[in-house]
Amino acid sequence: MTASKSSRARNARTGAQAGAARGGTAVKNGNTARGGTAKSASAAKSAGTAKPAGTAKSGSTATRDRNARDQARNGAARNGAAARGPRTIEVSDAPAERGPAPWLQITTFVLALAGLGVSIYLTIAHFTESALAGCSESGLVNCTKVTTSAESYVFGIPVAVLGLAFFVFGVVIMSPWAWRATRREIHLARIASLVVGIGFVLYLLYAELFTIGSICLYCTSVHVITFLLFVLTAFAAAAWGLKPGAPWKLVPERQPE
């Protein structure tokens, strides 16, 4: 009996020690699990904290890339401008841009032809001593009195011949081809001839009204034509310059290949 009780007591103590040992192991395992969980949480926090840093680095890289691209584009633009080189002035050969307005060219040319026709008729009448058609022989309008007067000669040359020479030159200088010419001398000659012509017209008007006392209708028509040509030529010089046939424009200078 006593031996059995002692055995049961030893077994009870052994079982208690074994249970205590198992409890300690369980506690240790629980602490280990909690430590692992804490470590995992810390790793997750660290990973979460590292992501914004990576994003910041990526943003800085993108900004540097954009700046590099902008600099490359600016450099290319400067190189292109340098390759094109400076601008120079060239003459445009476009027909639509050459000379004054077409209406002025045609009008002056037609007026010059009309003056030439009247001058030819007056020259023929002067040398054939024939009466001028449609012109009266008395009163203020007296063509014969004017064409046979002493004032119908200048330096021994008939005024009709001088008028003929003037309008022959006028037809040439008032042609559209002369208006489109690029030589400055042609446009200066046009203006100079009309200044001389209008001065001669003023002299003849004075002679008719104050010296002869009569006027000639054909001579008056020549005076009117000369005055219109003078006004139109002065207007063309003011509006288009003395060299209207050479419009200028800026073009890039060609570089040697």
The predicted-structure confidence for 76-104, as pLDDT tens digits, reads as follows 656 655 545 555 444 444 444 467 899 99
Return the pLDDT at 131.
Answer: 83
Host H or E run for residue 153: strand 153-154
Residue 229: predicted pLDDT: 97
Residues 102-143: tens digit of each pLDDT = 999 999 999 999 999 999 999 999 998 888 888 877 778 898
Residue 32 confidence (pLDDT) above 50? no
Give percent above pLDDT 90 in the chain: 42
What backbone torsions phi and psi does residue 241 show, to the nearest 5 degrees? 85, 175
pLDDT of the residue at 140: 86
144, pLDDT greater than 80? yes
Is 2 a residue whose pLDDT tops 90?
no
pLDDT for position 206: 95
Among positive and negative, which fits the CA dihedral 26, 27, 32, 34?
positive
**Continuous H helices in the chain:** 2-84, 102-128, 143-147, 159-173, 176-179, 184-206, 217-240
What is the per-residue pLDDT for 118?
96
Q: Residue 123: its pLDDT value, please?
A: 94
**Distance (Å, rounded) from C-alpha 235 to C-alpha 210?**
31
The pLDDT of residue 5: 47
What's residue 59's pLDDT? 57
Token pair 């007026």 in the structure block, residue: 111
**Spatial CA neighbour of 123 closest among 78, 171, 157:** 157
pLDDT surpasses 70 at 36: no
Specify the higher pLDDT residue, 203 or 6: 203
Most confidently modeled range among 24-28, 138-142, 157-161, 236-240:
157-161
Decide: pTM greater than 0.75.
no
Instruction: State phi, psi for 130 to the nearest 5 degrees.
Output: -95, 155
Four-CA torsion 68, 74, 76, 82, nearest 10 degrees: -150
What is the pLDDT confidence band of residue 228, given thresholds at 50, 70 and 90?
Answer: very high
In this prediction, residues 3-23 reach a mean pLDDT of 52
Looking at mean pLDDT, say which of 8-17, 39-48, 192-201 comes out highest.
Answer: 192-201
Predicted local distance difference test score (pLDDT) of residue 129: 82
Residue whose C-alpha is closest to residue 154's, from 163, 142, 167, 144: 163
- Which has the minimum average pLDDT: 1-10, 111-120, 225-234? 1-10
